[in-house]
Structures are given as structure tokens and as C-alpha cells.
Structure 1
Amino acid sequence: RLQSGRLCDMNGHSIFWNALAYQQQQVAMFLLHHFPPGSAQGIDLWEVHQRRKDTLLHLCVYFQYFSAPVAELFEVLFLGMGQVDSNSFQAYWNRANADSDTFLHCAAARRNFWVMRYVASHAGEILFRNGRTSALEVLLEKLEEVGVSCPTADFPEMEVKRSWMDFSRYLPMAEPTAFADMELEVQQSTGTYRVAAHRCVLGAASGVLHQELSAAGRVLLIDPLSCRSSKVLDTVLTFIYSSRISCDYREDGCLLWQLLCLCARYQLPEPLWRYARSALLLAVKNAV
């Protein structure tokens, strides 16, 4: 009877590793269920191939048929690493194999949009980290190889004419602003950032914000999957209040990605959405 998820063969590979390497998704899920990571005989999520330096996430991406069950397996591993050791999972996500490719580089090279989209939703910043080049750059190269051209990356106007409504005098700043009746909160790595704002102004700019601000409560927590930066939130507020785009991070793909996610999450005005999309494409292209 199998009593450990860490049982290894003569080459030093665990039984779980071999299940992934031979693309046996059902066996891998069985082992995860019976030998959960973190238990005494549980699966070692940090296992790495001694020669190729592949991780378990690399093996998931290598599946010939990336089906829904395989996607579920990937999700369990991706999220499980953070639960077992929150101090190490970021380094593991960015670990490169002997070819200097992270699992995300491999996903991009295989045009695995499910993995790219999933990672973007849960840890978008690692899309832009690189050893040789970022995963997004690899994806752009692979798309060009099959004749798929990227959208035009022209910068839109930095200001939208909207003479009938100008709330710039009430733009939220560090000190209290007149008539503010609520606060927006962003959870950053350096701590919590709060800024006072006005329900009526935010609600007029976004139907999603209008609905969320209709509930009782003074503080609205910005979705951390969309934004974890005070800079990005300030860009959005500046545009909503003054129709002017203020962005001093045009070369920072991670922050531009958050700006785009924030626009999508809260259905912000189309001009800001176009700016975020174009700026992100330019940042990626200029990095190649």
C-alpha cells in the first residue's frame, strides 16, 4: 500500500513527479488528494529536476493536451504553493529551468492562453519579470511567427475634452478634500493606501462603482486582483475628476497591466481604457 507522496524512483524523481512527467492527470490528482502538501508524507511542491531544473509548474505546461482537468491540476499547484510557504512561492514561480525559461515562458511559447490569463488574474506582475525576456515578449514573438499581428500601439491623447464637467478642484489628495463622503482603499505591499473621494463623481464615471458605492459603508476596498498600487489608483482618479491622464510609469509593464485590469474590472471610461491598452503594448514592444 502506498504510504507517502514522496516515494522516489532510482533517479530521485517522486511518484508525483512521474505522474506529471508522463502526463497522468488523474494519478496526479489522486496523489494530491491522499498526500496533501504540508502533511508529514505530503507531496513536495518544491521538487525540481536536478539536471533540467524544471519545476512542477513546468511539467503542467508541458502537457500535450491542456484540458480542463489539467487546468484544474495547474490551479491546485499554483495556489497550493502560496498556502504551504507564502515566503517562497514568488521565487518558485519565477524559477527558470536550464534553458533560462520560467514555466510562464514555456506557456507563452506554446501559446497557452489559459495559463497566461490565469496568471495575469492572480499574479500579473510576473508576466513582466524576465531573465532573458518577459513572457509577454515571448508570446508576441510566437504570435508573429504564425502571422498574427499585434494591435497598433499608438498613444492616445493625454486629455479628453469634456467641458461640461470638471471636478479637478475636488481631486482627492493626501489632505482631506471638500465634500468627500467615502474613501477608496488599495492594499499595497508597503501597506494600506486610502484616499478620500466623492460617491457621486465615481458613480457617474462607472456603473460598477455606482452599484458598489450604493451599499452602506465609508470605505471601498479596490479589488486586489486588479490593482495593488496607489500610483495606478491616482491615475484613475485624476482622469475621472479632470479628464486628464497623469501617468509617470509608462515603461512599467506591471503597473500598466494593473491600470488595464482596473479599467476592465470597474468598466471605467473608454478613453482611459484605450490609453492603458496602448501604453501597455508600447511598453512590451519597447522592451523587446
Structure 2
Amino acid sequence: MLQVAPLDQERLLLVSPELGEVLTAIIQRVRRGQPAMPTVSAYDTLERLWSAPMPFLFQRPVGPEDRAIPRNYIYTCLDNALAASGLTAPGDEPLHYTPHDFRRIFVSDALRSGLPPHIAARICGHQTVDTTLGYAAIYPEDVITHHRVFIARRRSLRPSEEYREPTAQEWRDFLDHFELRKVALGVCARDFGTPCVHEHACIRCPVLRPDPAQMPRLEEIHANLLDRLREAKEQGWLGEVTAIEASLAAAEHKLAAMRDLAPRHTTVHLGMPDFRTTAGRLTPVRKE
């Protein structure tokens, strides 16, 4: 069944057997024994135009003629049905539904039931799948469930050896790796099981995470580099000058990183509260 849409894009309506019985009952009521449904004009409140006579499904007799059911009347029927149901919002406020809300409910239920988004977009007449996904109400439970299903499916496709319990030696090697990451100026962030590719030149290593508590040590190294640079320039050791300048630039970069991290690692001493200046009094309890 085709739906009336404001654009030329077609909208399909999937009719289940139960919905087919309801639509058949509506059509029989509107036809009132006639061979065809009466054609009526409907007023579009948004476009402010009267449509051409068409066999609208939702129409009713008003006086001597048939008229299409207006939009506001449907809103009123929905409000009356919600009020009769006794359902309220979380703040005990009355619920207000629009016909478009049921369209969103349909899309959300269809996607949660496994309908591909591009098929739902075709049914709704959307030009892009993003519009359809914006209609759907995706909850965290759905994300978690789909992620667990994906992990289970992925594990079933991978070799079982990848998910076995680690041996005692493998677990010991794993813990030793983190012990070896602790260096004088901070923590080495190299990958597990990989050797140091910079031959333990931590000053110039980009994966060193400096520790603000080791700032005095790095400042001492920085001062030593300045002395070595001065000596190399005096002796004319140009190759040594280039190497020391590279180490000096890396040390200055690490010092700047330590200064940025230092305020985040400081502890603010609030002191002990002093009650000597606090005045208090006792109020006797009156007995009735």
C-alpha cells in the first residue's frame, strides 16, 4: 500500500494479516455497500491548499457530504486515548503523541528486529540511510548486545589457540614487561614484547612518558648537556655538537611536558579544620 507523501518519493506500507483485517474493516465502513470508495477533497493545513478528489482511507460523513478526517481531529483522538489509558510521562505529565511518532516507533522496532537499514529507508521513502537511522531510537542495551554478538561471532571464526589460558611463563613475561618499562625519567610506552629500538636513549625517545617527580633529575641532565655542548664547540667536535643539540632539544621538550603535567599531579593541602572560633549554643527542648 502506498502512503501519501509531501514529495514524489514513494512510501510503502507493509501490511500484516492483522493490519489487513483492520484496513478491510475501514474500507467496508467507508464504502457503505457501494462498489467503490467515495472521492473527497482534503485540506492541507501546511500547504493551505485543497487536494483533488481522491479515495482517502480516513474519511467520515459530515452532514450531507463526506469529508477527509483532518489532522487536528487525529491529534484529539490520540490525546483522548492516552488520557483514557492512564499512562503518563516520568514527571506525571500527560503524554502527547503525533502520527509521526508511530512512524518512528515502527522504524525503531523494525531495525531492532533485524531489518536492514537500507530496506527501512526504502519503505519510509528516505533518500539517505542517515535519515532512517535518525528515526530509530538506539539504546545502550542494543549497542552492548550487538557488540557481544559480534565478539562471539568473531571468536568462533578465529583459531581456538588465541583464546586459551596463558601459561605461567607467559604471564610472568607479561608482568616483567611492565617492570622493564620503568626508567629513570618516567615510563617507556613501547609495545609488549618489543625491544628498545633507540638503544635506551630515553631523552630522545618519543615513546617516553615523563614523570613530573623526576623533573630535578632531567634538569640536571639538561645542565650537563649544556656543559658538554659548550665543551664540544670549544674543541671543534662538530659531530658531537650535532648529537648533543638533538639530545638538548629532546630534553627541553621533555621538560616542557613535565611542567604541563606537574599541576595535575600535585596534592592540595587543605589543612585541619579549626573549631576554636566556632560559637555554638544549646537550645533546651520544650516538653508539651
Normalising by structure 1, report the TM-score: 0.20
Q: Select the structure of larger CA radius of gyration.
A: 2
Normalising by structure 2, report the TM-score: 0.20
